[in-house]
């Protein structure tokens, strides 16, 4: 039972931004439930490092978020282990090109199941426990939830749905639970992006650099722990990139 430490469930916690969010919350005193789908080795390494810092402070959970039947069990497992749930971070996402003319129904279903439906259903399952803790939800969206990314039609539409879910959940769960989103800009480059593509992106960022996973994680921590009068908002962490239109 986690009687003294608040507890956060982080989806997609094995790698990249999700792992940094988990480490940041853990360093801030949270016990963390770490969800993964396939990256078990990386998740075990992360959990081992966190356990070395504070014993009995992690829980490893595997689930395919596209399977809605598995989602309530994630919340149940967290509460069974720690006795509480104070924060939900919906970080897990799928991302790959879907040019118009090549989009399939199966691709649409996959994007919406993972990027929009899973966060909504996890929030619903977690709601009673978050209300009891006066907790918070943070959804990781994208600046492309409000502006199109060429060749990524289905992804953008699914992230736009998550942005609306953020606002709708904030209204539905108030006043006990705050719900906000973080919209990253250029943080970690896709492996397929060329140097020329990267230079073109950087030229459009007023701060003239990429962001870091730590900057996303610190924003998530602020929204969870410190932003007591903020709900229903999407915080862009993009170096000013959206100013360019």
Give the pLDDT score at 195.
78
Query: What pLDDT is stored for residue 192 in this prediction?
Result: 66
What pLDDT, on a 0 to 100 scale, did the predictor assign at position 3?
Answer: 58
Measured over the CA atoms of residue 232, residue 238, residue 239 and residue 241, the dihedral's sign is negative
Question: Cβ of 52: how many Cβ atoms within 10 Å?
Answer: 8
CA distance 35 to 43: 8
Per-residue pLDDT at 238: 95
CA–CA dist 227, 139 (Å, integer): 15
Q: What's residue 1's pLDDT?
A: 44
Structural domains of the chain, ranges and CATH numbers in brackets: 7-236 (3.40.50.720)
Kindly state the DSSP code that residue 240 receives in the 8-state scheme: T
Active site residues: 155
Q: How far apart are CA 132 and CA 34, in angstroms?
A: 21
Spatial CB neighbours of 197, under 8 Å, sequence gap ≥ 6:
none
- State the DSSP code for 222: I
Q: How far, CA to CA in Å, does 202 sit from each of 38, 118, 183, 189, 240?
A: 32, 32, 17, 11, 11
> Where do we find the tokens 């919906």?
90
In tens digits, the chain (245 residues) has pLDDT values of 445 899 999 999 999 999 999 999 999 999 999 999 999 999 999 999 999 999 999 999 999 999 999 999 999 999 999 999 999 999 999 999 999 999 999 999 999 999 999 999 999 999 999 999 999 999 999 999 999 999 999 999 999 999 999 999 999 999 999 999 999 999 987 666 677 888 888 888 999 999 999 999 999 999 999 999 999 999 999 999 998 76
In this prediction, residue 191 carries a pLDDT of 63
pLDDT of 188 reads: 81
pLDDT at 244: 76
């Amino acid at each position: 039972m986690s009687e003294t430490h608040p507890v956060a469930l982080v989806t997609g916690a094995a790698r990249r931004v999700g792992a940094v969010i988990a480490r940041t919350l853990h360093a801030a005193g949270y016990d963390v439930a770490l969800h993964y789908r396939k990256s078990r080795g990386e998740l075990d390494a992360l959990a081992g490092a966190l356990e070395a810092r504070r014993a009995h402070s992690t829980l490893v959970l595997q689930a395919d978020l596209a399977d809605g039947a598995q989602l309530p069990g994630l919340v149940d497992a967290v509460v069974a282990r720690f006795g509480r749930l104070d924060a939900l971070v919906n970080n897990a996402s799928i991302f790959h090109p879907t040019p118009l003319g090549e989009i399939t129904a199966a691709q649409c279903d996959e994007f919406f199941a993972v990027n929009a439906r899973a966060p909504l259903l996890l929030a619903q399952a977690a709601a009673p426990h978050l209300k009891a803790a006066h907790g918070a939800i943070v959804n990781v969206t994208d600046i492309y939830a409000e502006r199109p990314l060429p060749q990524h039609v289905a992804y953008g539409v699914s992230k736009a749905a998550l942005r609306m879910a953020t606002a709708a959940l904030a209204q539905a769960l108030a006043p006990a639970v705050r719900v906000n989103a973080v919209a990253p800009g250029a943080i970690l480059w896709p492996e397929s992006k060329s140097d020329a593509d990267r230079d073109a992106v950087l030229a459009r960022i007023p701060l003239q650099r990429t962001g870091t996973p730590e900057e996303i994680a610190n924003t998530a921590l602020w929204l969870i722990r410190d932003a007591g009068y903020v709900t229903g908002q999407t915080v862009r962490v993009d170096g000013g990139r959206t100013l360019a239109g």
